[in-house]
Amino acid sequence: MRSLLLAACVAFGAGCLAYNDQCQPLVENPNERVAFIAKGTEVFLDRPNARHGNNAIGQQAADAFAWVFASTDRPVDFAVVNGGSIRAEGLCVTRNILKEGPLSNGVLHEIMLFENPVQAVDLSEKEVVDLFEHSVERLYATPAAIASPAGTFLQVSKEVSMTVDCSRPALDRVTSLKINGQALAKPGRAIELKKYRMASSSFIISGGDGYTMLVGKGTDPSRNPSNAQRAGGIDSNIAAAYLKQGEFNVTVEAGFKVEPSRVVFVNCAQPTRPSN
């Protein structure tokens, strides 16, 4: 009876129903290759791998954010991308695993689909230290499973190398932090004494994801805020432009892969290979 009623109503009203096309590509050239994923590797996009470990897409995006300011009069010292902005959901299908081979522009935009502007600001050493402490404060220590990883974890550009000990208390977990080979000291100096310039999405620089130490910096003239000008200044477009012009877009053998040395995890739960 209920099925009959349902079927009758659906049939009668079907022509009046309309839904948004959720599969419509976010870019005009979705099939264009932007880079290769290195042969013999995979990129994992599930939450534990995007938010609880080094992630190849996140690292490339961070490198792109630093690259986009490299030719300006205020190049940045490093860049970060929050793990929450690396998404597996996609428009129509969820992609937990990207296989080796070409990465298309459409897929990249589905992975980085927030389309936030990229900005750069000056930070003090203390603010940088606080930034990375906040980044790792919610990481799960062994032997716990990674249950609900926070999107606050930062993927870092190649200028950064950091060691995290998850057995230590929150906000005191970063045991080593270097930027361009220079070690930072805890708790960090004031901006008059030591200054770093950082690039990230406007979301992070406005204090999103709990980065309260950044609130107001993006509008404070003394911090020299600036917006990325190339590739429309949008994070996913910048990442695509960076990858397309680089060495990773030549052969699959020269493709990009994760660099585990950027953030070294000690006593932290390790993400595993997801199912696709």
Identify which of residues 48 and 188 has a Cβ nearer to other proteins in the complex.
48
Identify which of residues 159 and 165 has a Cβ nearer to other proteins in the complex.
165
Q: Are 161 and 31 in contact (CB under 8 A)?
A: no
How far is it, in rounded angstroms, from Cα 122 to Cα 128? 10
Can you read off the two tokens belonging to residue 102? 């070409």
Least gap, CB of 23 to other proteins (angstroms): 10
Least gap, CB of 200 to other proteins (angstroms): 14
Helical ranges in 14-118 per DSSP H: 47-51, 56-68, 105-111
Least gap, CB of 166 to other proteins (angstroms): 8
The C-alpha angle with vertex 88 and arms to 86 and 91, in degrees rounded to 5, equals: 110
Least gap, CB of 7 to other proteins (angstroms): 9
Q: Are 276 and 97 in contact (CB under 8 A)?
A: yes
Least gap, CB of 149 to other proteins (angstroms): 10
Identify which of residues 14 and 70 has a Cβ nearer to other proteins in the complex.
14
Element (H, E) at 257: none
Identify which of residues 151 and 188 has a Cβ nearer to other proteins in the complex.
151
User: 10 Å Cβ neighbour count for 104?
Assistant: 19
Identify which of residues 210 and 233 has a Cβ nearer to other proteins in the complex.
210
CA 182 to chain centre: 23
Least gap, CB of 38 to other proteins (angstroms): 27
Beta bridge partners of 264: 163
Collapsing DSSP to helix, strand or coil, 210 comes out as helix
**Can you point out the beta strands (E) in 45-142?**
78-82, 97-98, 101-104, 118-124
Least gap, CB of 22 to other proteins (angstroms): 6
Identify which of residues 142 and 227 has a Cβ nearer to other proteins in the complex.
142
Identify which of residues 11 and 183 has a Cβ nearer to other proteins in the complex.
11
Site of interaction with other proteins (CB under 8 A): 1-2, 5-6, 9-10, 12-13, 16-22, 24, 84, 87, 89-91, 113-115, 134, 137-138, 140-141, 144-145, 147-148, 150-151, 167, 169-171, 203, 208-210, 212
Beta bridge partners of 162: 177, 263
